[in-house]
Structure 1
Amino acid sequence: MMDNLRAAANNVVLKILLALIALSFVLTGVGGYVAGGGGDYAAEVNGQQISRAQLEQAVQNERSRQQESMGAAFSTLASQDGYMQQMRQQVLSQLIDETLLDQYAATLGLAISDEQVRQAIFNIPAFRTDNKFDNAKYRAMIANMGLSADQYAQLMRKQLLTQQLIQGLAGTGFMLPEETERLLSVAVQSRQARLATFDIDALAQKQTVSDDEIQSSYQQNKEKYLSPEAFQVSYLMMDAAAIMDKTTVSDAEVQSYYDQHQEQFAQPARKRYSIIQSNTEADAAAVLDQLKKGADFATLAKEKSSDAISGKNGGDIGWMEEGSTVEELQKAQLNDKGQLSGVITSSVGFLVARLDDIQPQQVKPLAAVRDQVAAKVKQEKSLDAYYAEQQKASDAASNDNESLESAQAAIGGKIVQTDWFTRDNLPEALNTDAVSQVLFNGSLLGSNGAPSNNSDLVTLDGDRALILRISGHRPESIQPLEKVRGQVELQVKREKAIRQARVDAQKLLVSLKQAKADDALKSAGIAFSDGQTYDSAMQNDALSRAIFALPQPQQGKPSYGMSEDAKGNIVLVALESVTPRKLDDQQRGQFVSQLNQGMTGVTFDALINDLRSDAKIKMGSAAQMQ
């Protein structure tokens, strides 16, 4: 097995192709695996079963990931024949690969300890608050994933094991310095080229098209002339902010709320402390002894305290509520006004503290918090009214499912009617994932595609909600030739122009290589442009890739080729020169690092393929959708 691995790792072609590609898992189909028995499991890998439950959970996770990433587009994709089965096969293929890697890691003696898993979870930024691990946040987030703590820890253990395996493979792709230099010279260079362009738009204007050609093109390409599915929607919007603007609050309501919620307007009990800070325990003990003999605390603090800020204030550190009192002072248990602590060991040295004053809990008078109370009452009243309005509208829309008029009458709102729109251009007020899911899941249309039901209540951001119904629907359809004749004619002309340009360019290319092109270029009405510089790091279109695929010019003669530009024009290329581009030490280091990453990718892919070829894999009945 490892012979195949080494062979793949040292293949020069693979190195060049994959050197700049980051390591990734490739999900492949499972059609090549051994077909087998009908057991109620997903697959059996070297005797180890992948259960139906494992597969169903993994499929659900992948479905949720795609829904979150693609939004409403996922529903369209999922409705296509075979898509969900293909996704299921891809997920199963990944589970098989993970099982093979687990088994291989076991044969190598690789293992992840409980402490490694624990530290990895602690170090995940999403689980931290104020740079500290937040257990409540961790529990809530994995619960949202549908996972228990044990299940999440197991997933983390698998991930760490795979990382350990990859790190072990990283050193297998050894490259000689000479090979590195050769790859650098190929991958890091600039090229000077001149271009001669056949303008397809101009050539298309000179083409003639017959009715038969138009008819034939339309029949062969009807799918290009689809009129997309279109909708008209009526909706009734409810908005808490609009209700709040109309909500008033009486003095009696303010007084009543204040009386019932006085605890919200209370100043908690608090204590005022003074401290004297010392660098050594002996110094702190000496200060405490002087205080017990009657020395003035403020005077000693100014003279002796190593804390310049509190010392300047005679040791006073101000008022503290119980929840904000530092732990050292809490442990000192100072409860009587004027009481001194013993010597307190703290993170900043040694302290002697005194309780200067005590203030019991105090309720703020209504006059001091009236605006706050009134705002709270107004918010609660408007939210109550908002939720009551939702209930009324929802009940009315359910009872009268033929229109929104009953719901409108129940709340006195306004029904809004949209213009026609498609799935790709929803009106701004409806352009949310929540509305899209309701609008396009088919529940609001009858079996014949006609408008049918009112929706349930759809909640939106910003304390808003709406009820909607489809008031008009046009299914996707092929537009008649009469309507798209102009488009078809332009397309045929353009296709004829491209064919003509390719033939003419090919003829010129032969002449150019024979150094007989001057007259041919003139008769074609084109000429080469001035030289342009292209960088190897910017091969992001067909033209630049074609330029870097040409052989280097020999003996001062250009190297010629043919390609297309971003506008679809046919382009002749004359490559004039190739210049290696120098890299500084940092850039060179980054490039070599990318080469090494690519070698790890080659090695890892070779390992996966080798493990598959050696494995005994049998598919169970759960591999297929039920």
Structure 2
Amino acid sequence: MMDNLRASSNNVVFKVLLGLIILSFVLTGVGGYLTGSNGDYAAKVNGQEISRAQLERAFSSERSRQQQMLGEQFSQLAGNEGYMQQIRRQSLSKLIDEQLLDQYAKDIGLAISDDQIKQAIFTQPAFQTNGKFDNTKYLSMIGNLGFFSDQYAEALRKQLTTQQLIQSVTGTDFVLGNEADSLAALVAQQRLVREVTINVNALAAKQSVTPEEISNYYQQHKNEFMSPEQFRVSYIKLDAASMQQPVSESDIQSWYDQRQQDYTQPQRDRYSIIQTKTETEAQSVLDALKKGGDFAALAKEKSADPISARNGGDIGWLEPDITPDELKGAGLKETGQLSEIIKSSVGFIIARLDDIQPQKVKALAEVHDDIAAKVKREKAIDAYYKLQIKVNDAASNDNESLASAEQVAGVKAVETSWFSHNNVPAELNFKAVQDAIFNGSLVGQGGTPDSNSDIITVDGDRAFVLRISEHKPEAEKPLAEVSAQITDTLKQQKTQQQAKAWAEKLLAELKAGKGDEALKAAGLTFGTQQTLAHTGQDALSQAAFTLPLPAADKPSYGISEDAQGNVVLLALDKVQSGNMPEAQKQAMVQGITQNNAQLAFAALLGNLRKEAKIKYGAAAQAQ
């Protein structure tokens, strides 16, 4: 099982670690392990609480995942309260499912050993440097997430237990060999068919339509002949990227001086620890150290923390923001100095300060170009926002045109061609811009221009001021404009009816054994025999596999259509077995097995939910 778990996590990027491991801990019962309850819970599952903190973390995680996946589209969806509530409900539902799975795993006695926990940590690529476990990286990462090593190990134990449960459920389905062979034979089956095509285009040319038929069709389908609402828009676009400003050396120096902390690496301290479960054990270790005992040897022998013990107690370099408060308060100032006994949330600790790296400030020369780019960007944004205000004021004070706004912006307004809701010009394809165009507030009586819009900001530091130049409301197209279209439609309908009636008559003759004469009289003949596969997606292939099996030396017949809409008579002459390569058969069996496993897992969750006592708290609806 551990090999499978490692195979599913093969990226050393920190965000992937968050996505595949840490965040999933937050979505399980681990949140309750890390945070206390004050009665303001999201749900109780068989009496076990899911806290508000757990739900908020899960909601935030899912929101971030969807933002990465949807990009700019998410900004539009995020403004929809119903959509965000849906994400919240989904997050809580997932927490409940994982709580149920965790409880069920305990009920049936699933467990993860300490050795499996160690193996999972040591082989996790995110905790490695050059393919080897890096204790400093490990502690830094879990420290950033508020974990001590014991807490992380407990969280990992719960996660792996749940994964073991999922694997035990989804790994039990299988397909018997004879079942696989029968299914492969059915899928690989081939059908030998001949076709007769009745060309509808040739028949359509012979059809006639009366003015009365055209008028009746028009009256019955007026809603299909509507000209969409249309607009022509004039707009001014402001773009921060086009407003680059000069940057002086004094600007760069000022930025560096004001933000020097951004270019400062704080002091780093390296510690080693020995962790014990009781104060008595800690005192014994401290006494041994004070008598000259070897710290690394004692750590490997006595420490309850398996990760640091493996490294002789070394927990690596720590910066102030990830150094536990217990170590900060230990009063260790000199290299080699030992702490007294430190009481912590994970037991008792003896710490030693091994080394100190003083604070280091990057010289201006090292970051000069980076600062220059940032200053240039900041100046452009500042100029952009100032210009926004001026353009907005000009557009508001002169509502009869965009002339004043053009003068202030220093650019000419652009006017679009006619467009509707369905073909908005790419330059204006932003939800906020479309809302301003289509909500009616900028259109005057009779479709005349009314007023200028306010400034409309969109993603990417861009903004628009726009004005409706012309407007055409939705309207029925006159009969004269659509008469030719209706004529073609009616001819096509008549042709299809005639072709199908003709095909039905020929089919009856074929089934009665008089098909040759009937086809000859109609000037039609069957084409050459062709082989169709069960996997074919076209209508003819699918129709061929619905026909009854042919009798000895007697085809079975049916009617279908081809991709061009022609009516086709089919003669099924023979059904024969096909050959499916072994690799393809195995892939098919695997797909069926996975599908069945998913159904089994869904059924398990459904039963657990049905039998569970789930009570929702106030935090379930909080925003």
TM value normalised by structure 1: 0.56
> How far, CA to CA, are the matches of 1:188 and 1:595 in structure 2?
23
What amino acid sits opposite 1:428 in the alignment?
Answer: A
What amino acid sits opposite 2:532 in the alignment?
Answer: T
> How far, CA to CA, are the matches of 1:153 and 1:116 in structure 2?
17
1:368-419: CA deviation from partner (whole Å, max 9, x where unpaired): 4443443333333222221111111222222222222221112213311112
Q: What is the deviation of 1:516?
A: 0.7
Identity across the alignment (%) = 47
Q: What is the deviation of 1:449?
A: 3.0
- Residue 497 of structure 1 corresponds to which residue in structure 2? 495
Between stretches 335-344 and 111-120, larger displacement belongs to 111-120
- Residue 514 of structure 2 corresponds to which residue in structure 1? 516
What amino acid sits opposite 1:374 in the alignment?
Answer: A
Is 2:327 the partner of 1:394? no
1:142-187: CA deviation from partner (whole Å, max 9, x where unpaired): 99669999x9699859997xx99xxxxxxxxxxxxxxxx9xx99x9
Q: SS where residue 434 of structure 1 aligns?
A: helix
- Residue 572 of structure 1 corresponds to which residue in structure 2? 569
Are the structure 2 counterparts of residues 413 and 329 from structure 1 closer, same or farther at C-alpha, using a change threshold of 3 Å? same
Q: What is the deviation of 1:434?
A: 2.4
- Residue 35 of structure 1 corresponds to which residue in structure 2? none
CA contact (8 A) 1:191 1:576 kept: no
Between stretches 283-292 and 380-389, larger displacement belongs to 283-292
Is 2:505 the partner of 1:507? yes
Q: Aligned match of 1:113 in 32, 36, 46?
A: 46
1:33-61: CA deviation from partner (whole Å, max 9, x where unpaired): xxxxxxxxxxxxxxxxxxxxxxxxxxxxx
- Residue 248 of structure 1 corresponds to which residue in structure 2? 246
1:268-293: CA deviation from partner (whole Å, max 9, x where unpaired): 23334467999xx9999999778756
> How far, CA to CA, are the matches of 2:390 and 2:85 in structure 1?
40
> How far, CA to CA, are the matches of 2:598 and 2:264 in structure 1?
62
- Residue 18 of structure 1 corresponds to which residue in structure 2? none
Are the structure 2 counterparts of residues 599 and 549 from structure 1 closer, same or farther at C-alpha, using a change threshold of 3 Å? farther
- Residue 321 of structure 1 corresponds to which residue in structure 2? 319
CA contact (8 A) 2:55 2:91 kept: no
1:492-527: CA deviation from partner (whole Å, max 9, x where unpaired): 432332232122212211111111111322333333
Q: What is the deviation of 1:296?
A: 9.9
Q: SS where residue 447 of structure 2 aligns?
A: coil
Q: Within 5 Å, give how 1:167-178 maps onto structure 2.
A: none
CA contact (8 A) 1:112 1:157 kept: no
Q: SS where residue 571 of structure 2 aligns?
A: strand
> How far, CA to CA, are the matches of 1:503 and 1:127 in structure 2?
62
Are the structure 2 counterparts of residues 361 and 459 from structure 1 closer, same or farther at C-alpha, using a change threshold of 3 Å? same
Q: What is the deviation of 1:487?
A: 3.5
- Residue 559 of structure 1 corresponds to which residue in structure 2? 556
Q: What is the deviation of 1:476?
A: 3.0
Q: Aligned match of 1:355 in 353, 356, 366?
A: 353
- Residue 269 of structure 1 corresponds to which residue in structure 2? 267
> How far, CA to CA, are the matches of 2:271 and 2:237 in structure 1?
56
> How far, CA to CA, are the matches of 2:251 and 2:46 in structure 1?
61
Q: SS where residue 471 of structure 2 aligns?
A: strand
CA contact (8 A) 1:266 1:363 kept: yes
CA contact (8 A) 2:58 2:91 kept: no
Q: Within 5 Å, give how 1:164-243 maps onto structure 2.
A: 192=191, 193-207=193-207, 221-243=221-243
What amino acid sits opposite 1:465 in the alignment?
Answer: A
What amino acid sits opposite 1:561 in the alignment?
Answer: G
Q: Within 5 Å, give how 1:306-345 maps onto structure 2.
A: 319-325=317-323, 329-330=327-328, 332-341=330-339
Q: Aligned match of 1:375 in 373, 376, 379?
A: 373
> How far, CA to CA, are the matches of 1:145 and 1:220 in structure 2?
38
What amino acid sits opposite 1:502 in the alignment?
Answer: K
- Residue 72 of structure 2 corresponds to which residue in structure 1? none
Q: What is the deviation of 1:358?
A: 4.5
CA contact (8 A) 1:117 1:153 kept: no
CA contact (8 A) 1:198 1:571 kept: yes
- Residue 468 of structure 2 corresponds to which residue in structure 1? 470
Q: Which runs of 5+ in 2 are unaligned?
A: 1-43, 65-77, 102-178, 605-623
What amino acid sits opposite 2:333 in the alignment?
Answer: N
1:102-129: CA deviation from partner (whole Å, max 9, x where unpaired): xxxxxxxxx9534275699669965549
Q: SS where residue 420 of structure 1 aligns?
A: coil
Between stretches 255-264 and 440-449, larger displacement belongs to 255-264
Higher relative contact order (CA 8 A, sep 6+): 1
> How far, CA to CA, are the matches of 2:295 and 2:477 in structure 1?
93
Are the structure 2 counterparts of residues 585 and 249 from structure 1 closer, same or farther at C-alpha, using a change threshold of 3 Å? closer
1:342-363: CA deviation from partner (whole Å, max 9, x where unpaired): 6899999999754355466565
Q: Within 5 Å, give how 1:392-471 maps onto structure 2.
A: 392-471=390-469
- Residue 70 of structure 2 corresponds to which residue in structure 1? none
Q: What is the deviation of 1:236?
A: 0.8
> How far, CA to CA, are the matches of 2:93 and 2:282 in structure 1?
50
What amino acid sits opposite 1:533 in the alignment?
Answer: L
Q: Within 5 Å, give how 1:272-287 maps onto structure 2.
A: 272-273=270-271
- Residue 525 of structure 2 corresponds to which residue in structure 1? 527
> How far, CA to CA, are the matches of 1:224 and 1:145 in structure 2?
32
Q: SS where residue 471 of structure 1 aligns?
A: strand
Are the structure 2 counterparts of residues 525 and 461 from structure 1 closer, same or farther at C-alpha, using a change threshold of 3 Å? farther
Are the structure 2 counterparts of residues 276 and 596 from structure 1 closer, same or farther at C-alpha, using a change threshold of 3 Å? closer
Q: What is the deviation of 1:201?
A: 2.1
Q: What is the deviation of 1:464?
A: 1.0
> How far, CA to CA, are the matches of 1:251 and 1:524 in structure 2?
91
What amino acid sits opposite 1:113 in the alignment?
Answer: N
Q: Within 5 Å, give how 1:86-125 maps onto structure 2.
A: 113-115=46-48
> How far, CA to CA, are the matches of 1:319 and 1:595 in structure 2?
48
Are the structure 2 counterparts of residues 119 and 249 from structure 1 closer, same or farther at C-alpha, using a change threshold of 3 Å? closer
1:3-59: CA deviation from partner (whole Å, max 9, x where unpaired): xxxxxxxxxxxxxxxxxxxxxxxxxxxxxxxxxxxxxxxxxxxxxxxxxxxxxxxxx
Are the structure 2 counterparts of residues 153 and 202 from structure 1 closer, same or farther at C-alpha, using a change threshold of 3 Å? closer
> How far, CA to CA, are the matches of 1:363 and 1:205 in structure 2?
85
What amino acid sits opposite 1:570 in the alignment?
Answer: V
Q: SS where residue 48 of structure 2 aligns?
A: helix
Q: Which runs of 5+ in 1 are unaligned?
A: 1-110, 132-140, 165-180, 601-626
Q: SS where residue 235 of structure 2 aligns?
A: strand
CA contact (8 A) 1:239 1:386 kept: yes
> How far, CA to CA, are the matches of 2:595 and 2:363 in structure 1?
70
